[in-house]
Structure 1
């Protein structure tokens, strides 16, 4: 089982670009495919991982590994999901100054930007759908109001994200 966790998160680490939120749909696919947890359990874990210090993808991997195999699973998942990034960054660092000005390299980086944005939007849509935000229940409507308030506070008033998270938590306590 530890080997499965290692190989799964190693593969996720190698094929995922764009940061933690872009990786989450791939983690969800693999975790549910292996039967390690349900989508709802993973959504709960992602919520905790997002509130925890550190990268959300690594935190999610740690929580999935811990849920599946305890402490050894957490360590295995953390090492596996971060190892590709370490290897890729070290390799790129060695050659970056030599290839940075190559037009094909610059074009590749520009080409990756739209897919990263699409993956982040897809992850947000999937989480909203899994949490019932597209249904017409009282809870979903209140969730949509809290969501819109949070967006407004972030964009219009430029509130610090930690303050918005705190306000959303307080709203959750009051509303639910």
Structure 2
């Protein structure tokens, strides 16, 4: 039964996640919470691993979550679930979009979808920040306390890594693959050695 649930859950995520893997993160988290498959902290560890391994984050996340929930077969089922809607939709789009690409309804529909995608990516960034940058969960009602007592709420090691990564990308123009590797090394030094 767990394999059917995994497939259907990730099929639904794959079907309704416009904008790629980062837009899926809030949907995956919501589904994991509703099924009690893992905690937010466990999920964001999976997201961190998914970001550093080759391939799309959506497929990697589905594979890792499936493995945690149902072993190897669970990872296969979850991966198939998240990829199947894209395959079906791209086949339909290839057939009809080229034929109707200048239609005003299609253009307006995609114009309406773009802001939603941006919002989902911003929400994903917020959710990831809650588990990596903050020691405690920060909500609108606790922002005031976090501003008054930053040492109580903020994880300064993570913030320092964020600053270093931003410098590596913007100032020194390092390749993102090298930045991911270096960030892993810095994470080991900051959180394991120090």
TM-score (normalised: structure 1): 0.92
In the alignment, structure 1 residue 165 sits paired with structure 2 residue 191 = no
Cα shift at 1:142: 2.3
**Secondary structure of 2:38's partner?**
coil
Cα distance in 1 for partners of 2:112, 2:31 equals 26
Residue of structure 1 in register with 2:141 after alignment: none
Residue of structure 2 in register with 1:156 after alignment: 171
In the alignment, structure 1 residue 130 sits paired with structure 2 residue 145 = no
Deviation larger for 143-152 or 127-136: 127-136
- 1:23/1:103 CA distance change after superposition, 3 Å: same
RMSD: 1.8
Q: What is the aligned length?
A: 176
Cα shift at 1:167: 2.4
Residue of structure 2 in register with 1:75 after alignment: 76
In the alignment, structure 1 residue 103 sits paired with structure 2 residue 91 = no
Cα shift at 1:104: 1.7
- 1:160/1:105 CA distance change after superposition, 3 Å: same
In the alignment, structure 1 residue 143 sits paired with structure 2 residue 144 = no
Cα distance in 2 for partners of 1:48, 1:174 equals 17
**Secondary structure of 1:136's partner?**
helix
Cα distance in 2 for partners of 1:13, 1:26 equals 10
Cα shift at 1:76: 0.6
Q: Does the 8 Å contact 2:132/2:158 carry over to 1?
A: no
Cα shift at 1:132: 4.1
In the alignment, structure 1 residue 55 sits paired with structure 2 residue 56 = yes
Residue of structure 2 in register with 1:118 after alignment: 119
Cα shift at 1:71: 1.3
Cα distance in 2 for partners of 1:14, 1:3 equals 16
Q: Spell out, residue by residue over 1:32-70, the C-alpha distance to the aligned partner (whole angstroms, 9 max, x if none).
A: 210111111111111111111111111111111111111
Deviation larger for 34-43 or 104-113: 104-113
Residue of structure 2 in register with 1:174 after alignment: 189
Q: Does the 8 Å contact 2:133/2:159 carry over to 1?
A: no
Q: Spell out, residue by residue over 1:114-138, the C-alpha distance to the aligned partner (whole angstroms, 9 max, x if none).
A: 1111111111111111224375259
Deviation larger for 6-15 or 160-169: 160-169
Q: Spell out, residue by residue over 1:56-107, the C-alpha distance to the aligned partner (whole angstroms, 9 max, x if none).
A: 1111111111111111111110111100000000000001111111122112
